[in-house]
Amino acid sequence: MMKNESPQLQSAIEEQDDFLNCVRAGLRQQPKTIPPKFFYDALGSHLFDNICTTTEYYPTRTETSILERYGAEMAELIGTSCVMIELGSGSATKTPLLLKHLTNDAVYVPIDICETHLLHSTQRLQEMFPEIRMQPLCTDYSQIPAHALEHYSEQRPVIFFPGSTIGNCTPESAVELLEHAAQVLGDNGALLIGVDCKKSPERLNAAYNDAEGHTAAFNLNLLTRMQRELDAQINTEQFSHYAYYNAAQGRIEMHLVSQCDQHIQLGKETFPLAEGETIHTENSYKYTAHEFQQLASSAGWHLKSTWSDHDGLFNVHYLSLSASEPRHIARQAR
């Protein structure tokens, strides 16, 4: 794609119907839950960008430093003329750290659920890398539609999955996602994935309860989105943000807590909430390097290399579907 062309958006979801059905199903459950993918409307995506700049939220700057240091090495391993599919691309601020090492015949396929954010970030990247073909795809990243690769059968397919977003999946659903990725990519496929490490509860709790309140606003915006898009009747002032590290499960949990006995009205259906009852909105699982290797292996992936920061906060793993591909020496920043 040349510089004066705009990326052509593909869309593979009926977003509002998906939102309504998932919210209705989640509020019928006990305990109540709503999938975290619905955080990411335009405002939610902006609020998440704010979270990534806070002092407490270490994952973004830590993963960025790893990609800055080892991006050329990673690109060499995945193949510099690959088709790179980024899952949950968002603002794609880390992506240039890989794209700058790819050749002009590479292809970039960002997948994100927020169309506005997706188009804006892809346009910015296209201006930075005018010779690289870009094909944004608006859908739930967990779908990884096979047609994203149908025109690029000659190039190695690679999934780039930064941000430790895999942690939003339960271990069981993470395996399912990685199995699906393997099926879509085929035997020559590769995966470059960021994974947050286990660490002290104090550091983890601080990261999801920043002093400036960006994470709280991000969580509470889900209710505002339900009001605006689903005409849900909610008193948003009677909910609060709550996030904590569940050490037994190895995950951060994020909840919206009802501050009183109340109800949510959604169409003709009423969902009562008692004082103190929560809507579970997100998990963020943390993994040691060995734990993630075992999880990926159970989905058919072979770990080939790991890069980490000098404090051991975060890992970027390179995995292949080929058992015969040689392992690469793991790296740690000094």
- β-strands 269-273, 262-266 pairing: antiparallel
User: Which residues of the chain are in CATH 3.40.50.150 domains?
Assistant: 60-198+287-332
- Kindly report whether the global pTM for this prediction surpasses the value 0.85: yes
Query: Which conformational region is residue 115 in: left (phi greater than 0), alpha (psi within -120 to 50 degrees), or beta?
Result: alpha
DSSP H helices, 101-170, are 115-128
What pLDDT digit, counting tens, does each position of 64-84 carry? 999 999 999 999 999 999 999
Check pLDDT > 80 for residue 21.
Answer: yes
First and final C-alpha spacing in the chain = 39
What pLDDT digit, counting tens, does each position of 22-38 carry? 999 999 999 999 999 99
Tokens of 200: 């002290």
pLDDT band at 331 (very low <50, low <70, confident <90, very high): low
What pLDDT digit, counting tens, does each position of 265-318 carry? 999 999 999 999 999 999 999 999 999 999 999 999 999 999 999 999 999 999
pLDDT of residue 1: 36
Q: How many CA atoms lie within 13 A of 283 on its CB side?
A: 17
| Whole-number Å distance between alpha carbons of 249 and 278 | 18
Contact 112, 135 (CB under 8 A): no
pLDDT of residue 143: 81
What pLDDT digit, counting tens, does each position of 131-180 carry? 999 999 998 888 888 877 877 878 999 999 999 999 999 999 999 999 99
Check pLDDT > 50 for residue 263.
Answer: yes
What pLDDT digit, counting tens, does each position of 214-250 carry? 999 999 999 999 999 999 999 999 999 999 999 999 9
Instruction: Please give, one letter per residue, the 3-state secondary structure of 226-281.
Output: HHHHHCCECCHHHEEEEEEEECCCCEEEEEEEECCCEEEEECCEEEEECCCCEEEE
Check pLDDT > 60 for residue 207.
Answer: yes
User: What CATH homologous superfamily does 60-198+287-332 map to?
Assistant: Vaccinia Virus protein VP39 (3.40.50.150)
What is the number of other CB atoms lying within 10 angstroms of the CB of residue 147?
A: 10
pLDDT band at 17 (very low <50, low <70, confident <90, very high): confident
Of the candidates 59, 124, 71, the one whose C-alpha atom is nearest the C-alpha of residue 93 is: 124
pLDDT band at 327 (very low <50, low <70, confident <90, very high): confident
| Whole-number Å distance between alpha carbons of 215 and 249 | 21
